[in-house]
């Protein structure tokens, strides 16, 4: 089985396999400061297993794995940078939910197509200091935090213990926002200035609609239906509850990358993936307006509906208008962030 090698998989690999991930080794929140043992081992272990199960689902979606695909523990252990034991536990959780089935002495097989799993996640109970996580994002966006930080600096600044800070840093690393560099943590390149943000949108406004107009453009209708259903669900969900910024960013990224991949030109996809990686930090705090969330989901849906009609010219024009509106919103958000700081 070949996993996480090209195209969308390259983007997912950076999310699920950070080079210095400490998912297994790091103490979990709730640890006793003297013994270093968590007060509730079962809850902590289950949270890790749920997180790994979601990463397995993400690989299945990005790789377009088919029903019956053989999921091998060792391969996922290598992809996720952990041992086989937590992977086995994560696969059992997926089996409990009838997403995979156990094959005696051979591992597991998928019961659902990767496309069916688009947007499917298992709820993970929070085990980190959410406020510290949000404060770090906010201060990096405002320029108050430098590109390179260390645990001593962060514990003092946010009045948080090392045991509580470590999972926060692990989450930021899992989300592709920072990486370990010796004793320090380095924020990865992002759109942290108004000029870089404008340049990014100028590129996307020029590039993404053009991909739809290429002769090589081919869109999978089954995948379009999955995207359509997921956007409709988010619109409904946002009317009743706060949708996590990470979920919204991933859906937004999948939409734009799916269209770029359909262009048939790998360089279009690489360019969109690169922009998504760089805008991740900024976008995470840009999804607080539920009205705007429903608006951009609606704009995505209009692109999808035009593609379903095979009206590529209309789809390209709708996508261009969507990106121009997103650009204006992002510029306003950037100015607001800096004025607050």
- Considering the domain architecture, whether residues 178 and 209 belong to the same structural domain is answered as no
CATH number at residue 172: 1.10.10.10
Residue 67 forms part of a structural domain: yes
Same structural domain, 67 and 148: no
The domain boundary, picked from 149, 170, 187, lies at: 187
Note the pLDDT tens digit of each residue in 123-135: 755 555 677 887 8
Residue 1 lies in a domain: no
Helix intervals (H) in the chain: 7-16, 41-62, 73-80, 84-96, 130-142, 151-158, 162-174, 194-212, 221-238, 245-262, 266-284, 290-308, 312-340
Structure-token pair, residue 172: 């930021």
179 phi/psi in degrees, rounded to 5 = -145, 155
CB atoms within 10 A of CB 110: 21
313, pLDDT greater than 70: yes
Are residues 227 and 91 part of one domain? no
**pLDDT interval class at 43 (50, 70, 90):** low
Is residue 339 pLDDT above 70, yes or no? no
Give tens-digit pLDDT for 110-164. 998 877 787 677 775 555 567 788 788 878 877 788 989 999 999 999 888 888 8
User: What pLDDT is stored for residue 37 in this prediction?
Assistant: 39
DSSP 8-64: HHHHHHHHH--TT--TTTSPPTTB-TTT--BS-HHHHHHHHHHHHHHHHHHHHHHTT
Looking at residue 337, its pLDDT comes to 58
Residues 144 and 239 in one domain: no
- How far is C-alpha 32 from the geometric centre of its chain's CA atoms? 31
User: 178 and 205: one domain?
Assistant: no
* Whether residue 182 is found in the same domain as residue 293: no
121 belongs to a structural domain: no
Instruction: Show the domain range for 16.
Output: 7-110
Compute CA distances 230 → 200, 223, 234, 264, whole Å.
Answer: 26, 11, 6, 24
Answer yes or no: is 206 within a domain. yes
Point out the domain boundary residue: 187, 219, 236: 187
Select from 77, 110, 143 the last residue of a domain.
110
Residue 204 sits in a domain whose CATH number is 1.20.120.530
Q: How far is CA 194 from CA 53, 111, 172, 242, 261, in A?
A: 37, 46, 23, 27, 28
Which of residues 338 and 251 earns the better pLDDT score? 251
In-domain check, residue 318: yes
Q: How many domains does the chain have?
A: 3
């Amino acid at each position: 089985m070949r996993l996480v090698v090209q195209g969308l998989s390259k983007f997912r690999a950076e999310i699920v396999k950070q080079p210095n991930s400490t998912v297994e080794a790091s103490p979990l929140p709730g640890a006793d400061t003297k013994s270093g043992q968590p007060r509730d081992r079962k809850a902590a272990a289950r949270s890790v297993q749920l997180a790994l199960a979601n990463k397995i689902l993400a690989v299945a979606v990005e790789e377009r794995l088919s029903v019956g695909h053989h999921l091998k523990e060792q391969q996922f252990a290598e992809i996720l940078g952990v041992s086989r034991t937590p992977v086995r536990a994560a696969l059992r959780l997926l089996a409990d939910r009838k997403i995979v089935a156990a094959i005696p002495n051979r591992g597991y097989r998928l019961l659902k197509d990767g496309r069916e799993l688009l947007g499917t996640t298992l709820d993970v109970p929070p085990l980190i200091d959410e406020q510290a996580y949000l404060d770090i994002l906010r201060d990096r966006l405002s320029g108050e935090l430098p590109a390179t930080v260390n645990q001593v600096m962060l514990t003092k600044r946010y009045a948080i213990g090392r045991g509580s800070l470590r999972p926060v840093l692990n989450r930021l690393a899992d989300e592709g926002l920072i990486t370990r560099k010796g004793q320090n943590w380095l924020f990865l390149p992002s759109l942290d200035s108004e000029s870089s943000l404008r340049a990014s949108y100028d590129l996307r406004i020029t590039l993404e609609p053009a991909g739809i107009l290429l002769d090589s453009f081919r869109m999978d209708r089954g995948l379009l239906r999955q995207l359509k259903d997921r956007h409709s669900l988010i619109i409904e969900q946002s009317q009743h509850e706060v949708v996590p910024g990470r979920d919204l960013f991933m859906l937004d990224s999948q939409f734009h990358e799916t269209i770029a991949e359909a262009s048939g030109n790998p360089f279009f996809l690489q360019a969109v993936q690169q922009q998504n990686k760089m805008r991740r930090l900024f976008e995470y705090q840009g999804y607080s307006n539920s009205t705007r969330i429903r608006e951009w989901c609606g704009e995505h849906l209009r692109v999808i509906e035009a593609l379903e009609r095979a009206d590529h010219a209309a789809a390209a024009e709708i996508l261009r208008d969507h990106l121009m509106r997103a650009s204006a919103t992002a510029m306003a958000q950037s100015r607001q962030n800096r004025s607050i700081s």
